[in-house]
Amino acid sequence: MKEVPLIPADHWFFRNSLVLLKDPLAFVISNFEEYGDIYNVNSTIFTIYITANPEHIQEILVTNKKNYPKSDDYKVLKHSLGNGLLTSEGDFWKKQRRIIQPAFYKDSMNKLLDIMLASTLKAVEALKSKTQIELTDEMHFLTLDIVTQCLFGTELKTDSAKIQKAITVENEYLAGRIMKPLQAPFWVPTSKNRAYRKARSYSSSLILDIIKERQENPSEHHDLLSMLMGTEDADTGEKMSNQQLKDESITIFVAGHETTANALSWTFYLLSQHPEKLQLLQNEIDRVLQGSPPDFKSLRALHYTQMVLEESMRLYPPAWTIGRKVGCDTNMNGYEIKKDSRLILDVFTLHRHPDHWENPMAFEPERFEPEQKKQRHKYAYIPFGAGQRMCVGNSFAMMEMQVVLVLFLQHFKLTLAKDAPEVVPEPLITLRPKNGILMDISAR
C-alpha cells in the first residue's frame, strides 16, 4: 500500500487551514511542486486529500463514483440553490437529470442559438458608443441575459445590475462559508448573514414570481421553464412542485452564467496578450463567416475558435476545483483512504501538470488539435467535470462562448487598457479575475 505524503502543519491548532485559505492557488502550486500530485493536507477538522492526478480523477468521478459522493461543500450551496441538479444526489438526482438533459440536446440548442445571437448583438450595439469597458462586468450582464432568455423566454423586468449584485453577494458569502467552515450559524443575525439572506430572498422571489406568472398565463412557450413545468414523473404522473421548479431554475440560472462569463473574460484577456493567436482566430472567423453572424453549421466549422476556448479553460478553469468525499474506507489507486475524508480534485493544477502538458504555462490553442487530444490522458482535462455528474450545460456553454467571442471579434478590437489594474485570478467558487479586466474598445 502506498502512503499519501502528509504536509507538515503550519500552526499547532489551525494546522494548514490558514495558509490554504490565505492564498489557495499559491498553496496548491507550491505543494504540487514539493509533494507531487496527491498529498494529505493537515487540516483542523477533516483529513483533506488534494489530487491533480488523472488516474485518481478517473477513479473518483467515473470508475468507482459510488464510493465518492459530493462533498459537504455542496450542502452549503443548497442554501441558495436548494435541491437542484447540482446539489441533489441519488435516485432523486437521477430522475431530475433525465428530465432536464433533453433540454440541452441538439434540437433544443438550435432554437437557443437564435436567442444567443440576438442577445449578443444587442450587447454589441450597446457597446459601440464606448471606448473603455470593464470586460468581466459586461460578460456577466451578457451571460445573465442569455441564460434568462433561454430559461424563461423573456428578459427580466428588473435591473440586471441589481440581480448581478444579489448573485455576487450570495456567491461570495457561500464561498466564504465553504472555505472557512468555522463561522457563526446562518440564523445568527450578523451583518454578513443578514446581507446574504436579503440577497437570497430577492433572487428567489424573482424566480418564483416568473413561475407563478407563467402558471397564471399558460400560453405556449418554447423555453426550458415550460419544459420543466410540463414534465410528469413516469411512475406517479406527478408534476414538479413550485419549490422544485424554483430550485432547478435557480441552479441553471446561477450555474449557467457565472462560469461562462469568467471563461469568456479570461479568453479575451489571453487573446489581448497573444496577438499572434488573435490574428489566427480573426483569420478563421473572416474566412468561415465572411462577415455574417454564425449559424449552427458554421459554428462547427470554427475549429480554431473552439480550440482557443478550450485552451483558455485549461489555463483558467472556471470550476477550478471539484469537491467529493469518501463514502466508505477505500483503496484509491493503491492508497488507503478513510471514510469521510475530503477530496479536492485540483483542476487548476491538473490542467498545468507537466506530465500531461508540454510547456504548460504557454497559451497554445494548437494543443487541442484532434491528433494531440488523442495522445493525452482522457482525464487530464476536465473543465466540465467527468462521469455522470458532468456539466449538463457544456454544449450550451461552448455554443454561447463561441457566439460571444465571434460576434465581439467581428465588431471590436479589444486591448488591455494601459491603466488596467493587475489581472490576477481569484479562486472563489469559480475562478474569476480579481480586479476585473479593464479593456479599451474600438470598432474593428
Sequence-distant (6+) residues with CB within 8 A of 317 are 347, 348, 351, 383, 431
Provide the annotated binding site for heme: 391
CB 128 to ligand HEM: min, Å: 26
CB 343 to ligand HEM: min, Å: 11
Look at strands 330-332 and 321-325 and give their pairing.
Answer: unpaired
Q: How many positions of this chain bind ligand HEM (CB under 6 A)? A: 24
Q: Which of 54, 365, 393, 436 binds ligand HEM (CB under 6 A)?
A: 393
Q: Phi and psi (nearest 5°) for 296? A: -55, -40
Q: Does 256 bind ligand HEM (CB under 6 A)?
A: yes
H/E stretch holding 279: helix 275-289
CA distance 392 to 102: 10
H/E stretch holding 203: helix 191-216
Q: What binding mask, one character per residue, do residues 180-219 give for ligand HEM by CB under 6 A, x or -?
A: ----------------------------------------
CB 345 to ligand HEM: min, Å: 8
CB 108 to ligand HEM: min, Å: 11
Sequence-distant (6+) residues with CB within 8 A of 410 are 285, 289, 291, 293, 444
Q: Which of 171, 259, 312, 349 binds ligand HEM (CB under 6 A)?
A: 259
CA distance 407 to 411: 6
Q: Which stretch binds ligand HEM (CB under 6 A): 112-120, 192-200, 390-398, 413-421?
A: 390-398
CA distance 340 to 344: 13
Sign of torsion over alpha carbons 279, 354, 379, 171: negative
In the DSSP assignment, the letter for residue 323 is E
Provide the β-strand partners of residue 110.
Answer: none
Site for ligand HEM in 323-362 (CB under 6 A): none
Q: Is the Cβ–Cβ distance between 130 and 441 less than 8 Å? A: yes
Q: Which of 52, 319, 409, 420 binds ligand HEM (CB under 6 A)?
A: 319
Q: Does 427 bind ligand HEM (CB under 6 A)?
A: no
Q: Does 322 bind ligand HEM (CB under 6 A)?
A: yes
What's the distance, Cα to Cα, between the start and end of the chain in Å?
A: 60
CB 112 to ligand HEM: min, Å: 9
Q: Does 314 bind ligand HEM (CB under 6 A)?
A: no
Residues 72, 67, 258, CA angle at the centre, nearest 5°? 45
Site for ligand HEM in 359-378 (CB under 6 A): none
Cell readout for 231 is 414534465
Q: Is the Cβ–Cβ distance between 289 and 410 less than 8 Å? A: yes
Q: Which residue, chain included where needed, has cell 422571489?
A: 205
CB 131 to ligand HEM: min, Å: 28
Q: Does 97 bind ligand HEM (CB under 6 A)?
A: yes
Q: Which of 42, 51, 119, 251 binds ligand HEM (CB under 6 A)?
A: 251
Q: Please report, for residues 124, 134, 268, 391, the alpha-carbon distance to residue 410 in angstroms, rounded to integers and kept in the order given.
A: 10, 19, 13, 29
Q: Which of 117, 392, 407, 420 binds ligand HEM (CB under 6 A)?
A: 392
CB 49 to ligand HEM: min, Å: 16
Provide the annotated binding site: 391
Q: Which burial class, exposed, middle or buried, applies to 224 when counting CB atoms under 10 A from its CB (0-12, 13-18, 19+)?
A: buried
Q: Does 255 bind ligand HEM (CB under 6 A)?
A: yes
Q: Which stretch binds ligand HEM (CB under 6 A): 32-40, 155-163, 257-265, 405-413?
A: 257-265
H/E stretch holding 337: strand 335-337
CB 8 to ligand HEM: min, Å: 30
Q: What binding mask, one character per residue, do residues 16-55 give for ligand HEM by CB under 6 A, x or -?
A: ----------------------------------------
Q: Which of 51, 260, 265, 305 binds ligand HEM (CB under 6 A)?
A: 260
Q: Which of 28, 77, 397, 404 binds ligand HEM (CB under 6 A)?
A: 397
Binding interface with ligand HEM (CB under 6 A): 70, 85-86, 97, 147, 251-252, 255-256, 259-260, 263, 318-319, 322, 383-385, 389, 391-393, 396-397
